[in-house]
Structure 1
Amino acid sequence: MLNHLRKCFFVCALWGAALCFAADDVKPYMGAEDLPNALNFYPAPPDTGSAAFAYDVAQYKWGKSMRADSARAALAIAQGTVDIAEMMALFSEAFGMEISEKKTPAIFYVVKRGVLTMRLAGRGPKNHYMRPRPYMYFNEPTLMPKYEEEHRSNGSYPSGHTIRAWAMALLLAEINPAAQDALLKYGYEWGQSRVIAGYHWQSDIEASKAIIAGCFARLHADESFLADMKKARAEFKRLSTAKKKSK
């Protein structure tokens, strides 16, 4: 027990006391009531008789056509995950470094906690509008049939997957600005994957990005987040320097 406590103290000294929490103990930086409320600043989903909805339909057809591209379809399926550790593993290539709780604990911690916070902002509009998903509207199969039934009772607007992915892309881009284009491109592709899979309208995706833009700004007014982000950037700098020296 004494040795265990010494090890815990050593880890805390390196990464800060917050990193001693197990992954399941990570809590949001703030509650939904402290985040921007999309119902107050972002419009409702497009009416079915509008030009915006006509574009949604056109994008749905585009998404269906993209399923014929086996590589793009495989990416859309892989990006169907909402597990944050799995998401960070998928973002690792664009980030330029493996991201995991073990290898990059400070980065993992701030990204996980940041995503858990920002995703709260999507619940209000989802529950308020309860927009039917494209596959329900057209009564057609999706790229991932096993999730269809459980998503019938979950609103389409905005896209929760896109909220998580766009939040992650922004957080990682702040940690590694040199990779910002690759990270944002991957975040963009994640949103389009939801259109390709048939689970979201294009306007769901765009709403998610607008919501996250507001949440990201709000997060930067939180001192705990800023402190954790500072640790994450320091960790990235240290690991990047060590990587360069090993070459």
Structure 2
Amino acid sequence: MEKGVGLRLKEEDEVPIYHRDVKSTNILLDEKHRAKVSDFGISRSVAIDDTHLTTIVQGTVGYVDPEYLQSSHFTGKSDVYSFGVVLIELLTGGKPVSILRPQEVRMLGAYFLEAMRNDRLHEIIDARIKEECDQEEVLAVAKLARRCLSLNSEHRPTMRDVFIELDRLQSKKQGAQNQAENCEEHTHIQIAIPESMSLSYYSPYTVVENSSFSPDSKPFMIHKTL
């Protein structure tokens, strides 16, 4: 999962930009499969010291921050809410809005939060995610998404916090993969041979010399270094 899916993190001395329409169809992949956010048609830049933008509510149903809907005040945390919906789309494979769900949970955000409250996350996770992804990592992303979807914007992380957490998860996964590769590289095959045979060094195998040999001996044994 691409860290922050290309949402650019502002530095303290940069002018903040509110995208205002973060959604899965506005996230594109380049030739190297790097995610980039597109469609800045309704985005707005604000002064560094401004805490929010007061405007007529705009955005896509299912992704719009409920707090923004009620107050018409858009903040950086409103983009975070929308990104949370993108995360749970990836986790569940569900649509942001579905009439097939009960009315109170037609919005994917509400549906996901209800499942988390009732410990039913495993019931709504996409089958491919269950099969192909580490479940500890899936749970960590789900918890991050839950924070992004908090109805109180003060309880949501910043986009920078989201980036840091996704980066941590990605680094942890990469570290585990590297460790697994190292284990494979250190796999040794022991070969039983007659005493009369002389062998030279044969990488990457470890040769066991001076071993008794009989027709019943197994030709090799594999020992994995854990």
Task: Tell me the TM-score normalised to structure 2 length.
Answer: 0.26
**Structure having the higher Rg:** 2
Q: What TM-score do you get using the length of structure 1 for normalisation? A: 0.24
Q: Which one scores higher on RCO, CA 8 angstroms, separation ≥ 6?
A: 1
More helix by share: 1
